[in-house]
Structure 1
Amino acid sequence: MLVGSLKPGDHRVAIVAARFNDLIVDHMLSAAREAWAQLGGDPEKLVVARVPGSFELPVAARKLAEAGDAGGGFAAVVCLGCVIRGETDHYDHVVEQTARGIKDVNVQTGVPCVFGVLTCDTLEQALHRAGVKLGNAGRNAVHVAVEMANLMVSIDANAEL
């Protein structure tokens, strides 16, 4: 059975974080950085890029993923954002296109691209999912990124399976 470990090793990981709803996203970003450090990750191998909003996450994630792990590229990309439902259908469009874009980065590049975007009905829900009550989506996303980066190495090493 192939599984990925939670040891960052020599991997470089990128985090793309939205500035929109920064009260929430900044809290998630802080937890993501703490998780990286707790796993033993080298702070020099964690790169953060900021984008205006969640809708812009996929384009930055793709650019980072296309750099690849070899030659200073990235083994995984974490996307952090927060979309809170309003009184219009704008929410639905942003959530759908952001999710599709991040999924496409995964499939088209083969680089794990983690969906760490909160999709909430209220600010209170977002605060809870960003660490007030229910853990922190930023921390969880870094754990997924490290595990997936290591799983990709295991798969490559066992390609003849």
Structure 2
Amino acid sequence: MAGPLTSGKVKSKIDLSKKKFAIVVAEWNEEITEALYEGAVAGLTGNGVKKSNIVRKNVPGSFELSLGGLWMAEEKKIDAVICLGCVIQGDTPHFDYICQAVAYGVTEAGLKTRKPVIFGVLTTLNKQQALDRAGGKLGNKGEEAAITAIKMLDF
């Protein structure tokens, strides 16, 4: 699933080749989350992050991103965490509960550890909207999450 790079290069004041990133990927909606992961890696390596300094961890679904993100942010060697997932609205309010819980949990992980923990979770009404944001016509939100992580480290 190829798509245009959405954010490109970041002018960073720090040496990104020495920074370590964790990417926590939800396995649910795998077609989408794999494309987000590819975008995140491209965003990091395209800005000087060594591939060997990127750690990937999988969690079962987006709900588990909060704890997975917290665990990775608690690792001393990790400088920033990118949480990638996809929640597609169904016919029940489950969507609303999951989205709110994940947004809150990822935010809490960052506040607790005082490290960038980035919310790279698509919350879409249908699969096509997710595909459009995972390397489709609207770019790749995984890459945008990587750029956000870099900018927060640069902060």
Q: Structure 1-normalised TM-score?
A: 0.86
Deviation at 1:4, TM superposition (A): 5.5
Give the counterpart of 1:28 among 22, 36, 39: 36
Q: Distance in 2 between matches of 1:25 and 1:125?
A: 13
Match of 1:127 in 2: 131
**Moved beyond 3 Å, runs of 4+:** 3-7
Deviation at 1:150, TM superposition (A): 2.5
Q: Give the aligned residue type for 1:26.
A: E
Match of 2:117 in 1: 113
Which structure shows the higher helix fraction?
Answer: 1
Q: Counterparts in 2 of 1:78-157, with a 5 A limit?
A: 78-151=82-155
**Residue correspondences, number:** 145
Give the counterpart of 1:13 among 12, 16, 21: 21
Q: Distance in 2 between matches of 1:7 and 1:138?
A: 21
Secondary structure of 1:83's match?
strand
User: Is the 1:6–1:147 contact (alpha carbons within 8 Å) kept by the matching residues of 2?
Assistant: no
Secondary structure of 2:120's match?
strand
Change (3 A) 1:23 1:75: same
Q: Which shifted more, 3-12 or 50-59? A: 3-12
Change (3 A) 1:106 1:141: same
Give the counterpart of 1:60 among 61, 65, 68: 68
User: Is the 1:5–1:146 contact (alpha carbons within 8 Å) kept by the matching residues of 2?
Assistant: no
Are 1:75 and 2:72 matched, yes or no?
A: no
Identity of aligned residues (%): 37
Deviation at 1:45, TM superposition (A): 0.4
Deviation at 1:40, TM superposition (A): 1.5
Deviation at 1:6, TM superposition (A): 7.6
Deviation at 1:9, TM superposition (A): 3.0
Q: Give the aligned residue type for 2:150.
A: V
Match of 2:47 in 1: 39
- Which blocks of at least 5 consecutive residues in structure 1 are unaligned? 152-161
- Which blocks of at least 5 consecutive residues in structure 2 are unaligned? 1-10
Give the counterpart of 2:57 among 49, 58, 65: 49
User: Is the 1:6–1:146 contact (alpha carbons within 8 Å) kept by the matching residues of 2?
Assistant: no
